[in-house]
A = this chain, B = another copy of it.
Amino acid sequence: MTDESQLQLNCPLPNTNTGKIRLGHGSGGKMSLQLIQEIFIPQFDCGSLSQYQDAAIAPFDQKQLVMSTDSYVVSPIFFPGGNIGSLSIHGTINDLCMRGAKPLYIAISFIIEEGFSIDQLKEIVQSAASAAKDAGVQIIAGDTKVVERKAADKLFISTTGVGCLYKDSTLCGIDRARHGDAVIVSGDIGCHGMAIMCARNNFELESQIQSDSTSLKEMVQELLLADLDIHAMHDITRGGLATCLNEIAQSSKTAIDIEDEKIPISNQVRGACEILGLDPLFVACEGRLIAIVPQSSCDKVLDIMHKYSYSREACVIGEVTDQKVRVNLKTTIGSRRILDMLSGEQLPRIC
């Protein structure tokens, strides 16, 4: 499994022992982790291949092949800044990039509800195709299934990507954060999640929040080819920044200290989160990453990130320490608190 497993469940979970799947099992947070650890890992564990990362690495002939899969069930399927088609391509491309891979091929599979609009399908397919084309990735395999009305909610997409390492020596993974490393976030967080929430609830804000859904390939490629010794990259998706930092801390067996006031959050996202009572640190992005890099590479990494529109706001938000495994947040008023993983389900069907 390439998911966020092998991680610890630090505090007691809400009672999930009902024998039934709950929405929280798909949140990307603690309940997802529990499901993966209890159900999937015991069956699918393939030794060294199970590294619980954004993508798996496995030998192929003399080379390493990188593979990642995701299903997309986002609701609504069209949202400001994208739709389920472009999202499904961006997400899979980014997962491959996080392991230091050049994305090459994507297989895409559609599950469609009977009665779905063919025009909307065309638009979604077109968005997926142009997202792939923009990133130089080929969609080479596909499948379509149709189910009866009410057996699926409009349309779901599954994408699987395959890539090769830019350099065979690249070792980039969420288990490689080291004491002293800088923690960089590539841009303002929470736009995707809040764009979905606002679209779903027909919120009318002064200016519409646009999803940050985008391919990070170009920027990551430049970083990797620049030989900057990136230790870890993790795209900030389900569970948001807080959950992703916890995954890195736990996989790497390190602590991560971050400072609240350094985290880039737009006023729009902050405002919408306040209205809805959500914490932006747990809201998903689809075009933002955390990079863990040695201090010596930090300026060069930021210089490269700042060249790309989607990472113009990249900045250091904290550092890796050798304290007890956890994520510490220094708040604006100077106090410190432990930032835990997402528990339960905050925003269902965000991707």
Using CB atoms and an 8 Å cutoff, list the residues of chain A in contact with chain B: 1-3, 19-27, 32, 35-36, 39-40, 43-44, 46, 49-50, 55-56, 58, 60-63, 65, 67-73, 75, 104-105, 107-119, 121-122, 125-126, 128-129, 138-148, 150-153, 156, 158, 160, 162, 164, 348-349
Residues of B within 8 A of A118 (CB): 19-21, 39
Residues of B within 8 A of A117 (CB): 19-21
Q: Is the CB of B67 within 8 A of A111?
A: no
Q: Which of B21, B61, B111, B150 has a CB less than 8 Å from the CB of A71?
A: B111
CB-CB under 8 A for A141 and B25, given A20-B118, A39-B125: no
Other than the known A69-B107, A69-B109, what 15 A-B pairs have Cβ atoms closer than 8 Å?
A20-B117, A21-B146, A22-B114, A23-B146, A26-B144, A26-B145, A27-B146, A44-B108, A44-B142, A46-B139, A58-B138, A61-B63, A65-B162, A67-B141, A68-B107
Q: Is the CB of A43 within 8 A of B152?
A: no
Q: Is the CB of A69 within 8 A of B23?
A: no
* A346 CB, min distance to chain B CBs, angstroms: 13
Q: Is the CB of A21 within 8 A of B115?
A: yes
CB-CB under 8 A for A73 and B140, given A23-B148, A61-B164, A129-B44: no
